[in-house]
Structure 1
Amino acid sequence: MKKFIPFISRKIEDFRIYTTLIIFSIFVAVTGVLSYVEIKGEISKLGSQFRYSMSKEITFSTNEWIKTRMEKIYSFASIVSHTDFIYDEAKMFAYLRQINHNKLFFDHYQILFINAKLAFDGKEIPISKKEFDEIKIRKWYKDTIDKNTTTITVFERHELLKTEVINVCTPIYQEDEITAVFCGIIKKDKFFDKIRPQIHAFVDNAYIFDENGDVIASIKALKSQKEIKKAFLQAKKLGFSQDGFLYNSNFIGITKLQSQNWYIGVSVNEAAITSSTLQILLKNGVMLFALFICLILFSNFIHTFIRNKILKKQKEYEVILSHELKMSETGELISAISHQLKQPLNSSMLLLSNTLALKNDGEISDEELLENLELCIKSNKIMNETIENFRNFYKFNDDIKEFDLQECIKNLLGILHVQFSRYNIAIKVESFDIKIKSNESFLQQILLVLLQNSKDALSEKNSDKLISIDAKVNDEMVEIYLSDNGAGLSKAKAKTIFNKYKSSSKTNGSGIGLYLSKIIAQNKLGGDLSLYSYKLPTTFKLIIKKYMEK
């Protein structure tokens, strides 16, 4: 086996392997497509037609059911309004028991009087003023009173029934004044059973959604309403452009109810429909199945191998690009370091030479000698700090640590100070106190590319050359803005500035700076790099995670 894998690895690069794979794939594909297209077309046609017809049928049934219940509750309330039932509790309760006897239209009935009395299924239920005040602000009661019409409302939990219910309510009048609210109550879990006691076997599930995507009722219980609600709202946002949406690999056709701001959803059991076309499959079944399995196994092996190979090459390529970018900036950094070390080095040499001459002539005291030596030590510390900053920048490792963002930027600017001073470029860093946990080396590399680009943009300007750096925290991300007041970019160039092989403005530029910086920001720092403004000023926006995990 150990010899077999390297052998395949070597052979996979051979053109003959690819040729064999292509010929084999075409042969199996042509054989399978002839049967698959015929079956797929039949299933798709039957499924779509059936789903559409069932959606219309269930929608019609639901509309009629709701209309009938709303008319019926209005009829019941009218009888109460035009009789003396409202004044005679015995007659009222007897009437409620009579209409609730066979539960033909509703599971329960209740009348809530505006004087804080509640009649439920022919019995008086005592309620406190506090309970009545709470009921008055509930949607089913408030909408019925305020709109002065029959309403239908989903109620999360009925206090007496201890379950979710649907209330169909209408006002009761006495002398043109609302004196009570009459409600027919349906248990939510039985809602669909009352509308459609029997559903075709091809229907996988049917749903009633409200305008917010919540499932009011369904034939089969849902494990999670959160996922289907999310899929519904996304499709609704697009205006149900495909007349439905995809949920758990099943397409749910959507139709809006006319009487309510509700939606009917129907998903079809395509497996059941498929059984009607099995005769077509049997014609070429055995040969197609065997060839298909072989194709799957072989293609899966080849695909996995090639994919791993490509991923490995891609990672190697990105590492090479990273180092190429690093090396492309090294020359300028070394030049900056050289200029920055000259002053303290020359000062130390001059001071040591003078001290040595004075010592030989015996014209320097011990105190002056110590003072000169301390000055030399201080100068050496400055040089050591500069070299350490350069060394830390050039490590280019994957270490994630906590550091101060402003200090990180200042360390980088300390390396570039002399270089930018030669071009009379001022760099303004706004004051911010941001601690982050990230990769400082990668962050400084991106900032270096942006600073060098700004320097190139400002090199053609005669005066008032300014680079501004600011940062702020936005939730779990840190946004860094780097701007310059150069000439800016054209719209055409702004669109292609992050292309993989976009040419650099520098004569000897590698052309990968911004492209690779974007890759590093996305893959290494958990963020992104974008062009925030292409002129007046030109601003780049770098987003990174505030706290990264190791």
Structure 2
Amino acid sequence: MKIQEKRVLCFIKVVPSMVTILFYISIISFLFYNQKELLTLYFNKLSLIFLIITALIFFSSHFISKILENYFINYKKELKKELEKNRKKDSLLFQQSKMATIGELLSNISHQWRQPLSIITTAATAIQLQKELKETNEKQELKNLEGIVTSAKYLSQTIEDFRNFYNPNVPKKEFFISHALESSLKIIKTQLYKYNITIEKEIEDFPLYGVESEFTQVLLNLLNNAKEEFKKNPTAKNILKLRSYKDKKNYFIIISDNAGGIKTENISKIFDPYFTTKHHSQGTGIGLYMSQKIISEHFKGNISAKNSENLDYKGAVFTIKIPLE
């Protein structure tokens, strides 16, 4: 039990004695200073009356304090149950968000693997054909083998990136924002290229403390949201800007786009659980909610969203603010 709770219970328990003593002292003082003759004349009778009244006050106060004590204990138990339910709910939402992000990752991996698999298949077929025709071209064969090795290394690295993101047992440690951003971009880059999205970076590097894969998940959610907006509202030049900097009190990571911005009626709801502007078959509506939970609970910061507009573009701006340790 916490010190504060012990103090509350202790106070409730001593209330009857305190009330009784204060009442007794008040009456005796009043009679002693104002009614000395009355006190002297009826001392025995008054003493008996005072004792009876004091006993009644004591037992009444004790009864009330017992009710308050039981109420406090029951309230604490109910609160603990609610906190546990909320913890389980948040854990489930986190896993749902993770699985949704993993679904995006698998889609990205399938796109990333097409070209290297095509290179491997083409190079292996060329080597096989040369062997069957008994035509030897060592220079071309070496080039084909190098292509196979390079592509295989790329596939292996893609698996490693995915494994690092998915691993649920990664401990908290210091990591640099530049590495988290690059990891996020490597995972989603094929989708960004698919929709002709140009990345502009203005990165001031700094360390954060926490689970890097969780922070990467937040970045992926924000990058993926921007990609989805460009998918719906393509522009002449799709630009996604990534910026990070720090001041005397906070770190800032800003992700902005020129995809048209967030509808005014939606901007106050985008961090609510299960809110989505996509069809229910395409989105769960928990990505931004869990991103906010991760940043607020695991990094003690927050995410804000707003629209930005000038002569050249209109778009959404998401700002992650994390206090300096």
Shorter-chain-normalised TM-score: which range?
Answer: 0.7 to 0.9
CA deviation string 1:111-159 (max 9, x = no partner): xxxxxxxxxxxxxxxxxxxxxxxxxxxxxxxxxxxxxxxxxxxxxxxxx
- Distance in 1 of aligned mates of 2:324 and 2:152: 35
Match of 2:262 in 1: 489
Q: Does 1:395 align with 2:167?
A: yes
Q: Does 1:385 align with 2:157?
A: yes
Matched position secondary structure for 1:543: strand
Tell me the TM-score normalised to structure 2 length: 0.74
Which has a greater percent of helix?
2
Which has a greater percent of strand?
1
CA deviation string 1:269-316 (max 9, x = no partner): xxxxxxxxx9xx959623431222221332232223222222222111
Shift of 1:374: 2.8
Counterpart AA for 1:443: F
1:506 to 1:477, Cα distance in 2 relative to 1, 3 A: farther
Q: Gaps spanning 5+ residues in structure 2: where?
A: 1-18, 20-49
Report if aligned partners of 1:489, 1:534 keep a CA contact under 8 Å in 2: no
Report if aligned partners of 1:529, 1:540 keep a CA contact under 8 Å in 2: yes
Shift of 1:395: 2.1
Match of 2:273 in 1: 500
Matched position secondary structure for 2:265: helix
- Distance in 1 of aligned mates of 2:279 and 2:247: 34
Shift of 1:541: 0.5
Match of 1:530 in 2: 304
CA deviation string 1:12-35 (max 9, x = no partner): xxxxxxxxxxxxxxxxxxxxxxxx
Whose radius of gyration is greater, 1 or 2?
1
Tell me the TM-score normalised to structure 1 length: 0.45
Report if aligned partners of 1:478, 1:543 keep a CA contact under 8 Å in 2: yes
Match of 1:470 in 2: 243
1:545 to 1:344, Cα distance in 2 relative to 1, 3 A: farther
Report if aligned partners of 1:438, 1:545 keep a CA contact under 8 Å in 2: no
Shift of 1:537: 3.0
Greater relative contact order (Cα < 8 A, sep 6+): 2
Report if aligned partners of 2:183, 2:216 keep a CA contact under 8 Å in 1: no
CA deviation string 1:498-526 (max 9, x = no partner): 23343343543112222221111110112
Match of 1:434 in 2: 206
CA deviation string 1:319-340 (max 9, x = no partner): 1001111222333321111011
- Distance in 2 of aligned mates of 1:302 and 1:384: 56
Counterpart AA for 2:320: L
Pick the aligned partner of 1:511 from 272, 280, 285.
285
1:288 to 1:443, Cα distance in 2 relative to 1, 3 A: same
Q: Could you tell me the percent identity over the aligned residues? A: 28
Matched position secondary structure for 1:402: strand
- Distance in 1 of aligned mates of 2:132 and 2:229: 54
Q: Does 1:345 align with 2:123?
A: no
Note the 1:156-305 alignment, pairs <5 A.
Answer: 285-305=57-77
RMSD across aligned positions (CA): 2.8
Q: Gaps spanning 5+ residues in structure 1: where?
A: 1-35, 37-277
- Distance in 2 of aligned mates of 1:321 and 1:488: 26
Shift of 1:369: 4.0
The count of aligned residue pairs is 272
